[in-house]
Amino acid sequence: MLKRLKALLASDLVWRSRLRYLAEVLMRRCWGPASRDPIDFRLRGGGRVRLRLGTTDFKVFEEIFVRQVYGRFAALLPEGGTILDLGANVGLTAVYLCRASPESRMIAVEPDAENFRMLVENLRSAGIERRVRAIEAFAGGERGFAAVEDSGNGAWGFRRGPAAEAGVRVIPIPEFVDGVGPVSVKCDIEGGERELFEHLREWEQLVSLIILELHTEFLAADELYEILLQSEFAWTIHGEIPRDACIAVIALERKARKPSETSAGLAPLYSESTW
């Protein structure tokens, strides 16, 4: 609890919302959700975000605004670029990263219709709707359609189902970011990263940074490493992927183009990681 309090004090919430968060945590531990209505949390400098009851929104909020899982990577974002948010959920990461990089613009991509509705509402409530283009779609390696699949983990765990003749659009990364300048990608797509990274050579030249929530059940750390070895570019990994981790948040920073197709001498680029 002490660790959570320290994180809360360093958060971007106004004092009243910090107290409301603490009350909600205590009530949830004892009796379940304290509120009967959607929960609003106000942010310093203006704006707010809204969470739905009976969903995983509160857990996402804790990760983004209290634990600040992306905070250590925010300094890597280039000022004035574009952030492509894949798996935007209800927009909390979009709000956080837009506030962390105030000169950047964003493209927020979310496939689930109800999450997408809340995404649009939160962009407006936080006052950043003019900086963010919201797209209801999946990100994938090839254009097509797919259904939203419930993984059983609630609204933060929706996944892309099998390819279909109709449904939610599947859009490759180049179609999101063609001509928008330097691009940073935040990727949290519940296992869909395997297909995305298998097509890395088709979009790697467009991005300078990837903040990735890696689900090792679908793409193991060693497999990701091998994909990066086959890249035309050198990559530095910021953060760690513990061998027994199911999920790890890391950043992949693209460096210079490799002088040849060989992988000789690449190991030092991974010195920040433990695997």
Alpha helices per DSSP H over the chain: 2-9, 15-30, 57-61, 92-100, 113-125, 173-177, 193-198, 221-229
Residue 266 has what pLDDT? Answer: 41
pTM for the predicted model, two decimal places:
0.90
Separation CA 191–CA 202 (nearest Å): 19
Q: What are the sequence ranges of the domains in the chain?
A: 1-52, 70-139+172-269
Biggest CA–CA distance in the chain, Å, is 61
Given its phi and psi angles, is residue 161 left (phi above 0), alpha (psi -120 to 50 degrees) or beta? beta
Q: Distances from the Cα of 243 to the Cαs of 63, 69, 120, 167, 220, in angstroms? A: 22, 19, 37, 36, 9
- Two tokens, residue 49: 């975000």
Tens digits of pLDDT across the chain (275 residues): 678 788 899 999 999 999 999 988 888 888 776 566 789 999 999 999 999 988 899 999 999 999 999 999 999 998 889 999 999 999 999 999 999 999 999 999 999 999 999 999 999 999 999 999 999 999 999 999 999 988 777 777 788 888 888 999 999 999 999 878 789 999 999 999 999 999 999 999 999 999 999 999 999 999 999 999 999 999 999 999 998 899 999 999 999 999 865 444 444 333 344 32
Q: What kind of fold does domain 70-139+172-269 have according to CATH?
A: Rossmann fold (3.40.50)
Cα 168 to Cα 114: distance, rounded to the nearest angstrom: 13
